[in-house]
Amino acid sequence: MEASPPATPNGKQQHLLEQLRRAAHELSGQDLHAQLRNTPQAMGLATVYRHLRQLQQRGLVRCRHLPSGEALFAPTERDEHHLTCVDCGRTVPLPACPMHGDDLSPQQLDGFQLLFHTLEFFGLCPLCQQRQQG
Amino acid sequence: MEASPPATPNGKQQHLLEQLRRAAHELSGQDLHAQLRNTPQAMGLATVYRHLRQLQQRGLVRCRHLPSGEALFAPTERDEHHLTCVDCGRTVPLPACPMHGDDLSPQQLDGFQLLFHTLEFFGLCPLCQQRQQG
DNA sequence: GATAGAGTGAGTATCATTCTCAGTCAAGGG
DNA sequence: CCCTTGACTGAGAATGATACTCACTCTATC
Ligand SMILES: [Mn+2]
Ligand SMILES: [Mn+2]
Ligand SMILES: [Zn+2]
Ligand SMILES: [Zn+2]
């Protein structure tokens, strides 16, 4: 079934991570699976989700959930957050992380080894504000 | 099917919101549905989720997604965030919101009317750190 | 070349959430 | 009083993302 031999252990997981890093924006599990179709790094959907979970556990990947329910994944070194409309679902990226490096105090950390955070803002976009007025 | 007449329009939605406010912690849609079972305010699961969505759109309720996939809902006036273990899933509440009221600048807001935010931290809990060492 | 272990994917299962649609009710007009 | 309209509801079915199963292939080791 495989034409080329696996180069190195964890090769597929490495490829998945690089795919995410190369992408211009966040991708869903389904996106990743679809993008790798018909490439030498194609992998099953189960494998995509397996690796995404492991990468999250290693602190290399983070995900956020859209109001629609789909999860979008991004590499954690890309410290990006969003403003999302609770009505139409439109989301726009923030120019910078509003926490500007403020980390938790040791007391707040409670022994945890911090890996990453998610920070998302929600509101009404200009169009949906209008629609609710009129 | 109804014994008592609906007192006022939106009565059920009001009850759902009060249920959430009265609760000691966040609740899932299923939790809410189960808790209202066998009370005068019982409502179908579809109605629970309908109202949760509407309350979110009005900025009264916020939700976060556990790694397990279930969504937990809380009233937005309860400005609480968490530290969650990416390995075992244990989550502990933070004593205070680390953004201490820092809001977005008008430029960042981009015309949005801000309703609420979600902020969650992820890492390895002390036990899972040990387990990975040993 | 026998064995053990890691990695994989097609198919299936799970399960939270959403959709469908017909029933109930309140209000308003005639 | 009917009758229409629109808001609200819930049982059950549909959806869809994610997890699980299990048999198979490689690799490494002896
Ligand atoms: Mn950040
Ligand atoms: Mn906060
Ligand atoms: Zn909008
Ligand atoms: Zn843990």
pLDDT mean over A97-121: 90
CB contact under 8 A, A67 and B56: yes
Tell me how crowded residue A115 is: count the other CB atoms within 10 A of its CB: 20
For A65, the closest of B65, B109, B124 (CB atoms) is: B65
In angstroms, how far is D15 C1' from A68 CA? Answer: 13
Q: What are phi and psi of B22, to 5 degrees?
A: -75, -25
pTM value > 0.85 = yes
* Mean pLDDT of the region A47-71: 94
pLDDT score of A94? 94
- Write the single-letter amino acid at B88: C
pLDDT band, residue A134 (cuts 50/70/90): low
Contact between A86 and A122 (Cβ < 8 Å) = yes
Q: How far apart are CA B102 and CA B82, in angstroms?
A: 18
Q: Which of A2-16, A57-71, A77-91, A98-112 has the lowest mean pLDDT?
A: A2-16
DSSP letter at B97 equals: -
- Predicted confidence at residue A54, as pLDDT, reads 96
Residues of B within 8 A of A80 (CB-CB) are none
What pLDDT is recorded for position A99?
Answer: 87
Compare all CA atoms of chain A with the CA of B97 and give the residue at the minimum distance. A104
Residue-level pLDDT at A45: 97
Greater confidence (A18 vs B8) lies with: A18
Residues of chain A with C-beta less than 8 angstroms from the C-beta of B83: 104, 108-110, 112, 114
Is the pLDDT assigned to residue A8 strictly greater than 60?
A: no
Apex A28 CA angle, A24 and A31, nearest 5: 75
The topology (CATH level 3) of A11-133 is: Arc Repressor Mutant, subunit A (1.10.10)
| pLDDT of A83 higher than 70 | yes
**Rounded CA gap, A107 and A76, in Å?**
24
For chain A, percent of residues with pLDDT exceeding 90: 76
The amino acid sitting at A108 is Q
Backbone angles phi, psi at A72, to 5 degrees: -115, 135
Mean pLDDT over residues A85-98, rounded? 92
Tens-digit pLDDT string for chain B (134 aa) = 433 444 455 789 999 999 999 999 999 999 999 999 989 999 999 999 999 999 999 999 999 998 888 899 999 999 999 999 999 999 999 999 998 767 789 999 999 999 999 999 999 999 999 888 76
The 3-state secondary structure of A5-28 reads CCCCCCHHHHHHHHHHHHCCCCEC
Q: Number of residue pairs across A and B with CB atoms under 8 Å?
A: 116
DSSP of B100-123: TT----HHHHTT-EEEEEEEEEEE
Q: Is the pLDDT confidence value at A4 over 80?
A: no
Q: Which amino acid is at A122?
A: F
